[in-house]
Amino acid sequence: MSLKKPEDVFASLTYATDDTEFFTPMPAGYVKGKTKYLVVFGTVMSGLGKGIFSSSLAKIMQDKGLRVAPIKLEGYLNHDSGTLNPYRHGEVFVLDDGLECDMDLGTYERMLNQDLSRLNFTTSGQIFSSVLEKERQGRYLGRDVQMIPHVTGEVKLRLRELAVATEADIVFVEIGGTVGDVENAYFIEAIREMSYEEGPKTFCFVALTYIVEPKILGEQKSKPAQLNLKLLNAAGIHPDIIACRASSPVAKKVREKIALFSSVPMERIFSMHDCDSVYVIPEMLRGAGIDTAVLDLIDLADRADDEAEEVAKTLWNSYIHAFRTAEHAITIGIIGKYTTVRDSYASIIQSLEHAGAHLDAKVQIEWVDSTDLMDENVAERLAGLHGVIVPGGFGFRGVDGKIACIKHVRENGIPYLGLCYGMQIAVIEFARHVCGLKHAGSTEIEPDCPDPVIDMLPEQKKIEGLGGTMRLGGFDVAITPGSQVSVLFGGAQRIRLRFRHRYEVHPDYIQILEDKGMVFSGRSPDYPIMQVLELPRTVHPFFMATQAHPELTGRPLRPQPMFLGLVSAALTRSGVTPKTIPGLDGSETDSTASAAAANSPAT
């Protein structure tokens, strides 16, 4: 997809005038009615899967050859998601341009096989900051700045900027939270205004609701859904499509009742019940005829390409078939401190599913709380695992348990993949138990530790005055030829990974670690930053860690190579010869080619 740079779009904005005060200034090149909009609202409760529904619907529109662009509107006042606790909001997803955003952006990237940008995510904090900055610049001509038209106008402006930058046929708008929340009321009002401004057949409204099924009653109840749909109507939005979330398929009589009270035709009321994978939702929507309804509602049937859709369907369904028919069960342990909140590791879970489907493996996950691990019980707690992941994290809680875990898997040949913090802890463990640096540590955990093998580099400290020391977004990684990671990426000598961290391997200790057998096979091309490490296969079947978050770039049709390596090694440990062994035997297999494709930019 060819995108215009955000700064080019922003530069085209005009100052308000007396003639246009109550209308949003239009980005240069914007044509009313050319781009269509599909908006997803949540009712009854949050966490129903608006992002999954919206991205699935966007996927089947994309299959038809239409250009789609998603955007998530979040009501919280944070400027981005970077400071949110995983217990409260799930994982922080990092885009290639460095924006820390909601985990739903990860769902969009995986479904659509697109790399998104900061144009695809907006919070109330960003909206209000922009409005206040324009007020200080005098761009409102001395008028009193109000929620309407200025704040709602800023929201409409963001949507139109995205339409211009992506040249999308359809912009998919997901509004965070639920109808009735104070913080998203102005988003809903902005959508109402914009649908009026754009004209007929330009907007499609979808309400995602929840059908309760109390065990004590033994039947589905739609009253909460009915009442919340009335709230949406009261806000000036009449839904065109209603998606009903439930644990089991929504009964016909329940859908009939919702149709009666909402005035939405039965054929546009869809049961979005629990299923074995989020990736089957697109076909569920297609089977229910939702795609046809959308094309009719926003008058896009003439732009659809039936032949392109058939090709895309076949490819996607082959993945679903592979996932459902995977023969060999393996168990991967995820050793972390947010294990009670599965959304904290959403991208890791998905990346394991992708790799498993491609290697004929049904990956089962065992969650291990690192705060409960110690040298005395680690062998018992990790017994039966075919592979282990230590994911990203911050702070000192659970560190001792992770060190005990990594020592055990390193000494016992259990396949290991360390992600971000999982690489830093692997370095500390190796320094202590192999290099003899008994007091090796990280200055994040112990600022005055005698051997700070993990430290904040001077280059990071210099940018502290700019508001933070986090190294964020996509960066190139120079790969050592012939290394395991090089083979996994199809012999590539430079790859691109996404990062979110502020501490690094201290340069003074690199030679000490290498002398004892640690291989730093991925490095920053420009700075003394170690980004991938591994142990030789003569020492360990698969021991790899990266300062990056490779899970952020895994896609169903192009699984992330490091996860392919872990799952393949785990299959071998389980006693199964992998269907393909991507790079672990040094050969150029089909899966190696697949892994190399995962390093290619998304289109």
Of the listed 354, 408, 501, 549, which one is catalytic?
Answer: 549
Phi and psi dihedrals of 183, rounded to 5?
A: -70, -20
Q: What is the pLDDT of residue 144?
A: 87
Per-residue pLDDT, 594: 41
DSSP strand pairing (361-369 vs 328-336): parallel
CATH fold of 6-318: Rossmann fold (3.40.50)
Render pLDDT for 112-128 as a digit per residue (tens, 0 to 9): 999 999 999 999 999 99
Quote the percentage of the chain above a pLDDT of 90: 75
Q: What is the mean pLDDT of residues 1-15?
A: 49
CA 427 to chain CA centroid, nearest Å: 27
> Would residue 549 show up in a list of annotated catalytic residues for this protein?
yes
Task: Classify the C-alpha dihedral 70-178-347-117 as positive or negative.
Answer: positive
**Is 161 a known active-site residue?**
no
The continuous run of DSSP H or E covering 455 comes out as strand 451-455
Tens digit of each residue's pLDDT (9 = 90 or more) over 332-376:
999 987 656 677 899 999 999 999 999 999 999 999 988 888 999
Say whether pTM exceeds 0.75: yes
Segment (H or E) for 319: helix 306-325
Q: In what order do the strands lie in the sheet with 68-74?
A: 121-123, 68-74, 170-175, 36-42, 203-210, 241-246, 269-273
- Comparing C-alpha atoms, which of 377, 291, 277 is closest to residue 335? 377
Judge whether residue 574 has pLDDT over 80.
Answer: yes
- Element holding 74 (H helix, E strand): strand 68-74
- Sorting pLDDT into bands at 50, 70 and 90, what band is 596? very low
Identified catalytic residue from 244, 405, 420, 449: 420
Residues 417-426 have a mean pLDDT of: 96
Task: Provide the CATH number for the domain formed by 328-597 in this structure.
Answer: 3.40.50.880
Convert the pLDDT of each residue in 503-546 to its tens digit: 999 999 999 999 999 999 999 998 889 999 999 999 999 999 99
Nearest to 107 by CA among 276, 357, 349, 417: 349
Distance separating alpha carbons of residues 354 and 364, to the nearest angstrom = 13
> Of the candidates 81, 160, 171, 93, which has an alpha carbon nearest to the alpha carbon of residue 125?
81
Nearest to 568, CA basis, from 360, 345, 419, 325 = 360
Alpha-carbon distances, residue 268 vs 44, 97, 206, 259 (angstroms)? 19, 37, 10, 9
In this structure, what is the dihedral angle of CA atoms 101, 102, 107, 110, given to the nearest 10 degrees? Answer: 10
In the numeric block, which tokens belong to residue 366?
A: 């065992």
Domain ranges across the chain:
6-318, 328-597
420 given a catalytic annotation: yes
